[in-house]
Every structure is written in C-alpha cells, then in structure tokens.
Amino acid sequence: MLKKSEEPIQPGRKVILGKLLSDVEKLFRGAELDERVAVLNAVRGKLHELSPFKTEPVDFVEWVPSGEVIANDYNPNSVAPPEMQLLEISINEDGYTQPIVTWPNEGKREVVDGFHRNRVGKESESVRKRIQGYLPTVKINNSRTDKGDRIAATIRHNRARGKHQVAAMSSIVIELKRRNWSNEKIGKNLGMDPDEVLRLCQITGMRELFEDADFSKSWDIGFEESLEEIEAENVFEVNEA
C-alpha cells in the first residue's frame, strides 16, 4: 500500500508513459470519427488485456455502432412509458453512466442487460446525435455465453428494478428446465424461492416439469384458482434489498 507522499509510477516508466500518451494523441489528430473510435477501442482493449481488473467486464467499455447492438428474444422486463421518458431525460442530462451489457452473436452484440438504454440511444434524436450513432457496451464474461447463463444474467440484472410479465417469466423458467436446470439452480440464479419457481412452471400447464417436486405447505389452493389469481395480477412486483 502506497503512502500518500509516494509516487505510484516509477520515474523511468513515467517517461515512457508520457511518450505513449503523446503518440496516442497524435493518432487522434485529424482522424475521422470512425477511425478515432477504432483507435480508442484498440487502446482500451490492450489496456484491458494488461489490467489487474481484466476479469471485470466494466474494465473495458467499447463504443460500437448502434446498428450492431441487437435485442435478445427472452427479456421479460417491462418499463412503463413514464419510466422510459425519465430514462431518456436521465441520459440526456447525466449522460450514459452505465454501459449496455452484451455478448457477441454472429457479428452483432446481443443485449444481456440495458435493452432500454439501447432503445434510448437509438430512438432519442438528441441522445443519438450526441453519441454520434454509437453505443457504450461491455462484453459479458466469456464463461457466460450459454443461452441459459445469459438468460439468468439478464434476469438478475432486471429483477431488483423492474416488472416481469408473468407469461414471459414462465417461458424463461421452461427454457431453463429444458436445458436441464434444476429448480434449485433456477431459484439460485434468478433469485427466486422454490414456491415461485413451481408457480411459474404451473402457469404453463406443463405439470410434468414439477410433478416430482415437493410443494410448500402454504400451497393449499388448486391449480385453476392460483392460475386465475396470477393472471389477474398480470405482473410480479419485485422488491429486493
């Protein structure tokens, strides 16, 4: 641990760093936007490779053309129009304070988290003009590229701050069950208790997915009654600390 009076960079390295920064500055002079962005990403990418924090996606924020960022086909998070407007105002006033979490998919970047930040960057004229058709992104860890892992990552990001459509959340659980995820693994990765996992299975009417599970003693209502009650609610309210 350095003392306050100590210089963190050794004198010899400080000279090299100064030259490197000067050379990088020369690369930007007179270059067109696309070239400057490419240089910026290349420099950041190399620094990320050498970084003591290279296991953290946020260590490398990469600007990519907005057309290369695509939505996923499973996100059950919904944001009401007033919240979307507030998000646009926030990005207009405060800028992008969070990148869009993505993973590479056939030459594109599929959104894992940040679908609505992605929308604002594409649909808001003032924001789109300011960020010049690019979006700030990070890549999810390489070990999380299986679709089941990506789905779980999306739900974890969303769960504390959004409303989840019942039908969509149920489809997510069924997708993970078909990928041989146990109820315990689903609950652990999505932040659900066992009853909630079973309830979502029940909504689909696919009884075979939970026939071998132990129901909570609190579940004393019949399937038809519980389904009507859930569908009337339409969404789960999620409140996590």
Question: Model confidence over 97-136: pLDDT tens digits?
Answer: 999 999 888 899 999 888 889 999 999 999 999 999 999 9
Instruction: State how far the Cα of 35 lies from the Cα of 41, in Å rounded to an integer.
Output: 10
**Mean of pLDDT over the chain:** 78
Structural domains counted in the chain: 2
Sign of the CA dihedral with 24 first, then 25, 31, and 33 last:
positive
The token pair at 141 is: 């860890």
Q: Which of 120, 146, 172 is the last residue of a domain?
A: 146
Same domain, 117 and 173: no
Q: Give residue-wise pLDDT tens across range 41-80.
A: 999 999 999 999 999 999 999 999 999 999 887 765 566 6
b vs e for 107-123, b when ≥16 Cβ sit within 10 Å of the residue's Cβ? Answer: eebbbbbbbbbbbbbee
Within a domain: 46: no
Task: Please report whether residue 198 resides in a domain.
Answer: yes
**C-beta contacts of 52-60 below 8 A and 24+ residues apart:** 55/141, 57/101, 57/138, 57/139, 57/140, 57/141, 58/99, 58/138, 60/138, 60/139
Closest by alpha carbon to 91, among 57, 50, 124?
124
Q: What is the pLDDT of residue 86?
A: 84
Does the pLDDT of residue 148 top 90, yes or no?
Answer: no
Per DSSP, the three-state class of 60 is: coil
For residue 96, CA distances in Å to 99, 135, 171 come to: 7, 9, 31
Is 225 inside any structural domain?
yes
Q: Domain range for residue 142?
A: 35-40+58-146
Clarify whether residues 104 and 65 are in a common domain: yes
> pLDDT higher for 98 or 204?
98
Closest CA to 34 of 68, 64, 69, 67: 64
Q: Could you give the CA distance from residue 214 to residue 220 in angstroms, rounded to a whole number?
A: 13
Q: How confident is the model at residue 192 (pLDDT cuts 50, 70, 90)?
A: confident
8 Å CB contact between 133 and 37: no
Distance CA 93, CA 120 (A): 13
Confidence class for position 33, pLDDT limits 50, 70, 90: very high
